Structure 1
């Protein structure tokens, strides 16, 4: 539990959630690549059995098995091995993993298309590689994947003749037409994906901006306008959280106020009284590094020391008293301030109301003497 609310905590949580989603999708993306390889292997085995036992096979069985089963499966297995090593590595950033998995997926598509390019439907295996990157909402990832997919498609179609049954685009008008249509579809899908990503990014930025505005508003509602520290509402929330979390760490709750503050207002005026409150609040905030400071009302302030024992809290209160006595007001050099403290220790299971009452009773005892510190002690 943090005593000092972090105004960026919720925004950071949004970014962390986006990162977690990307990480989950990265894992699924990797599994999809494995699924593609396994599915292709099953189809290749089935087609191999059918062709070997038919009269359509126009090459030897060993050559057929090497070209259409062993070679593409070997390339794909190597790709999966690289993917696996990258995904499981702790030394590689998540961004690098995303690029690697996305690019290797296009290499798998290239292997499948090159080996089975005689089937025109394999043109569109590259489309899946592009679409799978849209979840990352990164224009560069999708653009890189699209560019590599288009290059590999063109290279495989124009410069590699792996399957002799595949008609060349330079010899078949139908094949050329299918090739051009495939390029057009690839380009269109890539463009659509980039547009979708752009709007997804705008939506994400809008959600973060709205969250930031909400945090600023909530912070204003929990801030005291005069002193600039947390107000009573923030204190109630902090005590409620303390009660709900029921922490095992040491917590100390303190209440303090300026001695004879009414006399200061009556003698020096309310404007001077306000200056005293502002100076005292600033001193409390500066001195209490491991605590949250709240203005409860009037000249009464509360301090929630977290992960602190009573000895350390008492020492801090003494330091504040000494520094307050040294405070100088240029317009009122004769004005000297002192403060009293009441401290109570939080114990496991103690409710917030009882904790506040214990500190308040200690402060009451301190006010009898003034410029003193009292610690609440449980009755035996």
Structure 2
């Protein structure tokens, strides 16, 4: 049980991680598009103030066209990578984080004259914390610091970039800020890990309780309370069939075979019902009384399914308890427009009453 609960929790966590990865990629796309728009707007501002130190074509090529093409290629390439089903989820997460780091690198190379842009390397490190993987966060933080240093010491792309002692002191401050951010993220991830453990324990306890409340322990089908919740959901559906059934002369079975064997008969029937439901769900709402909710079917199809169920139950019980002939009777009702789920249940109950009145091992359709 605990393994099933853990698998379900991990599945939900992967779904959340996938959602964040797609959102993370959108942040990269917005960053790339925003950079291009800012470059264009900055051109008009600098041109109006006569602050452009090169020719207009050179400016547009150096600060608009080249970075926009590179950033666009990074974003589109990243999208193609994360949509490829061959790659693992953690590899896709890593690619999105690396793409954002490379976008920051392009911006710092293009605008190296403004040392404040080097602070952008903090952004990818912060965003990776939502994946809750320390190794990924450390990798991106170290990559950002390496690219920060490389961008500072590489040949200048921006002719207005002036390298002085103050410039390198600003770069050092940026590196210290990145290191401090990594330390803070590490502590945050440690806190998230502990909180996740507590949350998982609570989820497992809640899921276990829901399983106990929603499932009948003896037969393995849905419980009476689960059937009541199902009725609430059925108010929003139109195409379904209700089947009510019980075991013919079940009291006689208990009297002759004993209650333990009677419980085994119920358990076997529950197993057969789960197998026969297909798209539907089986519930136990009384001692030997069961309800099947069959979706996207009609009376004729449901009747054919139930005849097979009758035969399988009879043959299985004949093998296990040859001294008694055990059968089931069923009532079938297809939901009609304007009916509530409770009204449909009552019609199915009336059909079951007719089936019992006609004799054993009978099916009645209302």
Matches within 5 A, 1:36-185: 36-43=35-42, 46-47=45-46, 50=49, 52=51, 61-62=54-55, 66=58, 70-83=61-74, 85-86=76-77, 89=80, 91-92=83-84, 99=94, 102-139=97-134, 141-162=136-157, 166=161, 168=163, 173-185=165-177
Aligned-pair Cα RMSD in Å: 3.5
> Aligned pair count?
358
Three-state SS of the structure 2 residue aligned to 1:342 is strand
Q: Which residue among 353, 357, 360 is the counterpart of 2:349?
A: 360
Q: CA deviation at 1:369?
A: 2.9
Query: Cα deviations across residues 44-78 of structure 1 (Å, max 9, x unaligned)?
Result: 6545654648xxx6xxx43x973x66313233211
Match of 2:234 in 1: 242
* Structure with more of its chain in helix, by fraction: 2
Match of 1:34 in 2: 33
Query: Cα deviations across residues 202-253 of structure 1 (Å, max 9, x unaligned)?
Result: 545654553343233112102222222212111122122112x133x3x221
Q: CA deviation at 1:31?
A: 0.9
Q: CA deviation at 1:91?
A: 4.4
Give distance in 2, aligned partners of 1:8 and 1:360: 39
Q: CA deviation at 1:194?
A: 4.0
Q: CA deviation at 1:197?
A: 4.0
Match of 1:305 in 2: 294
Give distance in 1, aligned partners of 2:39 and 2:348: 72
Query: Cα deviations across residues 109-137 of structure 1 (Å, max 9, x unaligned)?
Result: 33443344344333323333433444454
Query: Cα deviations across residues 112-167 of structure 1 (Å, max 9, x unaligned)?
Result: 43344344333323333433444454545544432332222222222324456655
Q: CA deviation at 1:298?
A: 1.3
Q: TM-score normalised to the size of structure 2?
A: 0.81
Give distance in 2, aligned partners of 1:191 and 1:69: 40
The 8 Å contact of residues 86 and 97 in structure 1, kept in 2 or not, is answered as no
The 8 Å contact of residues 28 and 99 in structure 2, kept in 1 or not, is answered as no
Give distance in 2, aligned partners of 1:209 and 1:13: 15
Q: CA deviation at 1:306?
A: 1.6
The 8 Å contact of residues 115 and 163 in structure 1, kept in 2 or not, is answered as yes
Match of 2:314 in 1: 325
- Bigger drift between 284-293 and 109-118 goes to 109-118
The 8 Å contact of residues 97 and 128 in structure 2, kept in 1 or not, is answered as yes
Give distance in 1, aligned partners of 2:261 and 2:107: 82
Give distance in 2, aligned partners of 1:260 and 1:196: 64
Structure 1 unaligned spans of 5+: 1-5
Q: Does the C-alpha gap of structure 1 residues 292 and 218 become closer, same or farther in structure 2, counting only changes over 3 Å?
A: same
Q: Does the C-alpha gap of structure 1 residues 201 and 86 become closer, same or farther in structure 2, counting only changes over 3 Å?
A: farther
Give distance in 2, aligned partners of 1:119 and 1:332: 87
Query: Cα deviations across residues 182-208 of structure 1 (Å, max 9, x unaligned)?
Result: 222222223323443454455456545
Give distance in 1, aligned partners of 2:12 and 2:167: 52
Give distance in 2, aligned partners of 1:44 and 1:187: 34
Q: CA deviation at 1:375?
A: 2.9
Give distance in 2, aligned partners of 1:147 and 1:320: 64
Q: Does the C-alpha gap of structure 1 residues 101 and 235 become closer, same or farther in structure 2, counting only changes over 3 Å?
A: closer
Give distance in 2, aligned partners of 1:228 and 1:279: 10
Q: Does the C-alpha gap of structure 1 residues 74 and 136 become closer, same or farther in structure 2, counting only changes over 3 Å?
A: farther
- Bigger drift between 13-22 and 177-186 goes to 13-22
Three-state SS of the structure 1 residue aligned to 2:218 is coil
Matches within 5 A, 1:180-329: 180-200=172-192, 203=195, 206-207=198-199, 210-243=202-235, 245-247=236-238, 249=239, 251-328=240-317
Query: Cα deviations across residues 288-346 of structure 1 (Å, max 9, x unaligned)?
Result: 33332211211111112221221121112212222222234778531221111111111
Three-state SS of the structure 2 residue aligned to 1:323 is helix
- Bigger drift between 293-302 and 6-15 goes to 6-15
- Bigger drift between 320-329 and 230-239 goes to 320-329
Give distance in 1, aligned partners of 2:6 and 2:357: 39
Give distance in 2, aligned partners of 1:351 and 1:308: 18
Q: State the structure with more CA Rg.
A: 1
